[in-house]
Amino acid sequence: MSEARARLDALPNLYPHLFQGGPLPWGFEVGDGWSDLIATLCVRIDSILREAPGAQFEILQVKEKFGALRFYYEIDGVEESISEAVLEAVMLAGKASVHICERCGRPGDHGSKEGWLFTRCAVCQAGDP
């Protein structure tokens, strides 16, 4: 297992209150290159939820779709300002994901090949899909 993958798999243990339903049923369905992005997002959400001790929060699914990060979650028991702050953090991470190679984490471009959308750096794009 890569270091990046181990880091992802450790997140439910590091932030149990973000994974109130336990580890993700299908794991993190993204390439290793986005591990920093996702870890940073968890840190950000964690700090937002510190302002909302009664928050119920559960990350449901984290995956790649159309070459971008999709981060599905449920939030309850918080004021609107908190849920808006979380939504903004999630949307920013989604926007950032299309500039980060999903495979290796270097700066990448959103591209397509034969109808398949992805985000890759030039090195990874030159290699296997």
Whichever of 75 and 96 has its CB closer to Zn ion, that residue is 96
Applying CB under 5 A, which of residues 104, 109, 110, 117 lies at the interface with Zn ion? 104
121 binds Zn ion (CB under 5 A): yes
d(CA 80, CA 27): 29
92 binds Zn ion (CB under 5 A): no
d(CA 129, CA 37): 21
Whichever of 12 and 31 has its CB closer to Zn ion, that residue is 31
CB of 121 to Zn ion, least distance (A): 3
Whichever of 90 and 121 has its CB closer to Zn ion, that residue is 121
- Footprint on residues 50-89 left by Zn ion (CB under 5 A): none
CB of 15 to Zn ion, least distance (A): 27
**Which range, of 6-14, 17-25, 52-60, 94-102, touches Zn ion by CB under 5 A?**
94-102
